[in-house]
């Protein structure tokens, strides 16, 4: 029954999405308020119906309704409740439905909370959002129907991959999709602007909260994915440059560029075409990412089951959206002239460089990810691109950018002087040089790169603090200046400081992690880093749907001992094994233990790792996400920009 309701709801949602695509666009060109209101109503209703469809699917999963094919393939009666629920999106069809749900919810949000937008603009945005929704619902209904029936229904289903039976599955995909799909709003804004033929400061003000929201969710989603891989996969890696990971990094990099480019557009009316292009490209990268995961064009640990038919459909969607948007860009963007001039040393120039580096970095990741596909077409030789490539290309591009990050907020708009700039930053400069010298002295001259990494981290954190210090000093009383500092400044400081913390974590992990792989017997002790690890016992245990071999350890550091366990689990239903690592999390790093196979002498293979500052990688990302939230909370975003833009003569840019 749930399947039927869900299927029907989805079909109704398709009708509404079609309405949403057509009606408001006509309403905007005719300036007809009734049609535009109908568009808003369609958007809200569509979200409700997609929600109903999603709820029906989730219900089927929780109740293990095996008459639905996806449920039979991805859930088992012994699976814990939370993973039956999360299993709704642990498969291609269900996760695609989640995608469509978030897309429709964002559309409804534009309809309900977009009162500050010019009505015709809002209508056009809704129309484009509707078109994307229509395309994906058609994709769902015709190639990936989550409500496809299995007749006769099996007695029990195939278990969800044990690697996915983890709290990470409950949060990571929804967060990621909020990010990916959230950028569709910026895409719709960009295309609507191209259709209208005008982009102004108001547009940049309107788009920023949506980009910030998507960016914050994507930052958190990527960080969570990295953390999940770290503790779940059993060998302590946190980033593998896997094609699907890259598929999430590229929209993030482009989204960061978009965020900053919109800043320039809002303040100075410059970088118009560039910002529009970024708006189009960010969501396009999300779409290409979806294509990557679901078409089977590249192998990846993350791939869903492969079906080239789906690949063709998604490719068609990409051509229809990105292709059309870029063609529109080629046609209309040249007519959009930027207003303000600025000198070579100015915040605008700095942010232009920021755009450049971020786009170059994105291009490098894109090239590395898709080169095997491109090469296949032109050469018989097959190559693969792994982490060493990105270390040699991505890192050298990002490093100068990270240095520039501190200069950005310190530059004045329009025209600045290099000497003044350096003077403003003499505090952070001095601290950084001291930090570098100290790092080289402490860690030895063989580790200069690592020392440079730590110095870069100090530069970023102190530089972020300098923004606050400058503001707090210039204001009147200290407390007053703290209160009057806009929340978005705190957002900036948190985000840039978070970046520094992230860099510190990455540098430390790259330079100083160590591991030992030994066969251990109960009673044996090993030392890794400053931790003493003793194997105490090996015993059996059972869980709801698995049998496990549990190794008990004692970790001793600085005289303090604590217990730790690591398990090797066997899931009889899917006949697969996983390793659950034992991780001791400290502020300055982790000690990580993972067990392998037992041998016949009563011993067990043990992998021990020392991971210095690894928590700072995710901590830094969390700080960045918090910065995003802080910026979102800024009052200035809630105030209407529409009125201001409409009133000032010359507020509209005239085609050249």
Partner 1 sequence: MRIVVALVALVLAVPAFAVLPSEQLADPALEARARAISAGIRCVVCQNQSIDDSDAPLAHDLRVIIRERLGAGASDAQAVQYLVARYGSYVLLKPPLEPATVALWFAPLAFVGLGAAGVVLYLRRRVGGATAPLSASDAAAADALLEDRI
Partner 2 sequence: MTRALFAVPVALFAALIVFFAYGLTQDPSRIPSILIDRPLPAFDLPGLDATSPGFGTAAFGSPAARGEPKLLNVFASWCAACPQEHPMLTRISAEGVPLFGLDWKDQPEAAKTWLAQLGNPYARIGSDPGARTGIDLGVTGVPETFVVDGRGRVRYKQIGPITADDWEKTLKPMLVRLRNEA
Binding site for partner 2 (CB under 8 A): 273, 277, 281, 291, 295-299, 308, 311-312, 315, 318-319, 322-323, 326-327, 329-330, 333-334, 370, 372-374, 376-377, 380, 382
647 binds partner 1 (CB under 8 A): yes
Given partner 1, partner 2, none, residue 305, with its beta carbon under 5 to 8 Å by kind, binds none
How many residues at the interface with partner 1, by CB under 8 A?
67
Window of 282-290, 306-314, 448-456, 565-573 that interacts with partner 1 by CB under 8 A: 565-573
Contact 605, 517 (CB under 8 A): yes
Minimum distance from residue 204 beta carbon to partner 2 (Å): 20
Spatial contact of 337 and 235, defined as CB atoms under 8 Å apart: no
* Token pair in block for residue 594: 């993972």
Q: Is 556 in the site for partner 1 (CB under 8 A)?
A: no
* Residue 647 contacts which entry, partner 2, partner 1, none (Cβ below 5-8 A, type-dependent): partner 1
By CB under 8 A, name the one of 326, 360, 550, 645 that touches partner 1.
360
- The reply to whether omega before 152 is within 30° of 0 (cis) is yes
Which of partner 2, partner 1, none binds 364 (CB below 5-8 Å, type-dependent)? partner 1
> How many Å apart are CA 588 and CA 460, to the nearest integer?
19
Q: How far is 218 from 306, CA to CA, in rounded Å?
A: 25
Stretch of 22-30, 373-381, 523-531, 630-638 contacting partner 1, by CB under 8 A: 373-381
> Among partner 2, partner 1, none, what binds residue 547 when CB lies within 5 to 8 Å by partner kind?
partner 1
Binding mask 176-215 for partner 1 (x = CB under 8 A): ----------------------------------------
Position 78 contacts partner 1 (CB under 8 A): no
Report in angstroms how near the CB of residue 273 gets to partner 1 at its nearest.
11
Residues 6+ positions from 130 with CB-CB distance below 8 Å: 17, 18, 19, 20, 21, 22, 24, 39, 42, 43, 46, 107
- Measured in degrees and rounded to the nearest 5, phi and psi for residue 91 equal -150, 170
Query: Does residue 267 bind partner 1 (CB under 8 A)?
Result: no
597 binds, among partner 2, partner 1, none (CB under 5 to 8 A by kind): partner 1
How far CA 277 is from CA of 165, 191, 207, in Å, comes to 39, 9, 14
- CB 202 within 8 Å of CB 644: yes
H or E segment at 410? helix 387-410
Q: Virtual CA dihedral for 31, 32, 37, 38, nearest 10 degrees? A: -120
Residue 158 binding partner 1, by CB under 8 A: no
326 binds, among partner 2, partner 1, none (CB under 5 to 8 A by kind): partner 2
The token duo for 511 is 């330079």
Give the torsion through C-alpha atoms of 121, 124, 125, 131, to 10 deg: 180
Beta bridge partners of 547: 542, 570
Phi, psi of 305 (to 5 degrees): -60, 145
For residues 253 and 624, the answer to whether their CB atoms sit within 8 Å is no
User: In angstroms, how far is CA 586 from the centroid of its own chain?
Assistant: 26
Q: Does 387 bind partner 1 (CB under 8 A)?
A: yes
Site for partner 1 in 305-344 (CB under 8 A): 338, 341-344
Q: Which residue ranges make up the site for partner 1 (CB under 8 A)?
A: 235, 237, 240, 242-243, 270, 299-301, 303, 338, 341-344, 348-349, 352-353, 356-357, 359-360, 363-364, 367-368, 371, 375, 378-379, 381-389, 392-393, 396-397, 414-415, 517-519, 540, 542, 547, 549, 568, 570, 572, 577, 579, 596-598, 600, 605, 607, 647-649
């Amino acid at each position: 029954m749930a399947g039927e309701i869900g299927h029907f709801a989805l079909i109704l949602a398709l009708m509404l999405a079609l309405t949403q695509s057509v009606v408001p666009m006509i309403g905007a060109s005719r300036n007809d308020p009734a049609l535009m209101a109908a568009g808003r109503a369609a958007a809200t209703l569509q979200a409700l119906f997609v929600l109903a469809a999603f709820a029906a699917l989730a219900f089927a999963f929780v109740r293990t309704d095996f008459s639905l094919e996806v449920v039979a393939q991805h859930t088992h009666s012994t699976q814990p409740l939370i993973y039956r629920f999360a299993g709704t999106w642990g498969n291609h069809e269900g996760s695609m439905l989640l995608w469509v749900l978030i897309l429709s919810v964002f559309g409804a949000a534009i309809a309900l909370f977009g009162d500050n937008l010019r009505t015709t603009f809002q209508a056009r945005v809704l129309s484009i959002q509707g078109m994307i929704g229509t395309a994906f619902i058609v994709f769902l209904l015709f190639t990936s129907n989550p409500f496809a029936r299995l007749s006769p229904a099996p007695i029990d289903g195939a278990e969800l991959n044990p690697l996915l039976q983890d709290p990470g599955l409950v949060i990571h995909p929804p967060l990621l999709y909020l990010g990916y799909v959230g950028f569709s709003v910026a895409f719709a804004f960009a295309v609507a602007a191209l259709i209208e033929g005008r982009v102004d400061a108001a547009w940049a003000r309107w788009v920023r909260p949506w980009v910030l929201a998507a960016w914050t969710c994507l930052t958190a989603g990527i960080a969570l994915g990295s953390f999940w891989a770290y503790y779940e996969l059993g060998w302590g890696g946190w980033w593998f440059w896997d094609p699907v990971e890259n598929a999430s990094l590229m929209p993030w990099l482009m989204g960061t560029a978009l965020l900053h480019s919109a800043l320039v557009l809002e303040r100075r009316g410059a970088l118009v075409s560039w910002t529009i292009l970024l708006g189009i490209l960010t969501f396009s990268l999300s779409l290409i990412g979806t294509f990557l995961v679901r078409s089977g064009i590249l192998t990846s640990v993350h791939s869903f089951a492969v079906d080239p038919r789906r690949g063709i459909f998604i490719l068609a969607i990409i051509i229809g959206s990105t292709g059309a948007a870029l063609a529109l860009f080629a046609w209309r963007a040249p007519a959009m002239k930027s207003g303000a001039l600025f000198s070579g040393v100015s915040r605008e120039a700095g942010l232009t460089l920021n755009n450049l580096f971020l786009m170059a970095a994105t291009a490098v990741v894109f090239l590395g990810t898709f080169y095997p596909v491109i090469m296949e077409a032109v050469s018989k030789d097959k190559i693969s691109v792994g982490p060493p490539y990105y270390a040699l290309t991505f890192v050298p591009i990002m490093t100068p950018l990270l240095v520039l990050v501190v200069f950005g907020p310190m530059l004045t708009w329009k025209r600045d002087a290099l000497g003044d700039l350096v003077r403003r930053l003499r505090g952070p400069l001095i601290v950084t040089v001291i930090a570098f010298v100290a790092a080289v002295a402490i860690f030895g001259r063989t580790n200069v790169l690592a020392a440079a990494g730590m110095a870069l981290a100090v530069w970023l954190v102190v530089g972020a603090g300098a923004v606050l210090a400058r503001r707090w000093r210039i204001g009147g009383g200290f407390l007053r200046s703290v209160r009057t500092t806009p929340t978005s400044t705190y957002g900036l400081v948190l985000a840039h400081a978070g970046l520094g913390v992230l860099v510190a974590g990455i540098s430390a992990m790259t330079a100083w992690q160590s591991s030992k792989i030994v066969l251990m017997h109960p009673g044996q002790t090993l030392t890794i880093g400053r931790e003493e690890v003793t194997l105490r016992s090996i015993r059996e245990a059972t869980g709801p749907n698995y049998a496990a071999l549990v190794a008990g350890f004692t970790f001793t550091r600085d005289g303090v001992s604590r217990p730790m366990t690591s398990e090797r689990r066997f899931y009889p239903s899917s006949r697969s094994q996983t390793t659950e690592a034992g991780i001791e999390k400290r502020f300055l790093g982790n000690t990580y233990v993972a067990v392998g196979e037992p041998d016949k002498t009563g011993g067990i293979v043990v992998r021990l790792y020392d991971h210095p500052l690894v928590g700072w990688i995710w901590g830094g990302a969390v700080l960045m996400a918090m910065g995003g939230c802080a910026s979102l909370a800024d009052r200035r975003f809630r105030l209407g920009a529409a009125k201001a833009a409409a009133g000032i003569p010359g507020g509209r840019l005239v085609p050249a």
